[in-house]
Amino acid sequence: MIDPASSARTRLILGNEAVETLQHSSVLLFGLGAVGGMCLETLARSGIGRFYLVDCDRIQASNFNRQILATSSTLGREKAQVARERVLDINPAAMVEAVVDFLDGTSVERYLDLRPDVVIDAIDSLGPKISLLCALHRRGQAHVSSMGAANKIDPTMVRVGDLSETKNCRLARFVRKRLSARGIHNGIRCVHSHELPGRASLPWHSLDSALDQEPSVQRGRERAVNGTLMTVTAVFGLLAASECLRLILGELRPQGLRCTPDGNGKGHANLEP
């Protein structure tokens, strides 16, 4: 049973019908790192009733600077299971299925067959990301995809829009090229930053050797280390969550608020009686 007090402030601004809709909605989220973790936190506190969570990694010490799931008590644990526990700690009435899995072309369709209301793509790996986005586009599935938040420091430059509108993002450029080769030129809704990237990436071997043990590094090609700040990755996650809510509810507009002119001809919000 959901404690009515937990959604009281949401009901005040969105109304009872919207809250009921959120409680009966489902979200499939791929990737529970800095962006995905913050997106999940926001959706859980917004009252989404069902989650399908997919991630293959464990929490590492290098995650602490930006990932909300990373704490001293969760170090070394599987992100998917930690995320499930956190959602249920926020909302015990939620239904949460957590899967420890590395998404690939053979498993995408199986997950999308769950028919969630919205899919969140917070995947870092290019191959799985392309497979997922192609399937989402083909199915016409409501979705939000995260482009690159690394090497950025200005959260005010983060935007939501079509993939075709992205600029100054290396990941988005690669994604556009791969999708274009498959005949997809628009229709991918994403969070991205217009900020010019800062410091170049460094190879793993130039940093602490302990990082070499991370599962994401051991899998496949050698990866680079990108500088990241939670001030940016958190905004990516928040905007992804906001777009998800908009897709579920339509254009978000406060309920019970009206704008009235003050003595200077400017508007201010008042609660309706």
| Pairing assessment for the beta strands 50-55 and 26-30 based on DSSP bridges | parallel
Please give the Cα distance from 242 to 240 (Å, whole number). Answer: 5
Say if CB 43 and CB 27 are below 8 A apart.
Answer: yes
H-run or E-run covering 234: helix 230-249
Q: How confident is the model over 98-124, as pLDDT tens digits?
A: 999 999 888 999 999 999 999 999 999
What are the DSSP E strand ranges found in the chain?
26-30, 50-55, 95-100, 118-121, 143-146, 158-162, 189-193, 202-203, 224-225, 257-261, 267-271
| 261 or 65, which is more confident | 65
Across all residues in the chain, what is the average pLDDT? 87
Residues 6+ apart with CB under 8 A from 209: none
Report, as an integer, the average pLDDT of 136-146: 98
Q: Which of 41, 55, 52 has its CA nearest to residue 91?
A: 41
Q: Which of 131, 115, 122, 118 has its CA nearest to residue 246?
A: 118
Say if CB 225 and CB 211 are below 8 A apart.
Answer: yes
Q: How confident is the model over 213-242, as pLDDT tens digits?
A: 444 444 544 456 889 999 999 999 999 999
Model confidence, pTM: 0.86
Helix ranges (H only) for 29-147 are 34-46, 79-90, 108-112, 126-139
* pLDDT at position 37 over 80: yes
Q: What is the number of domains present in the chain?
A: 1
Which pLDDT band, with edges at 50, 70 and 90, does 42 fall under? Answer: very high
Q: How confident is the model over 71-95, as pLDDT tens digits?
A: 999 999 999 999 999 999 999 999 9
Q: Which of 17, 89, 45, 103 has its CA nearest to residue 238?
A: 45
| Residue range of the domain that includes 65 | 4-271
Task: Indicate which CATH number applies to the domain containing 93.
Answer: 3.40.50.720
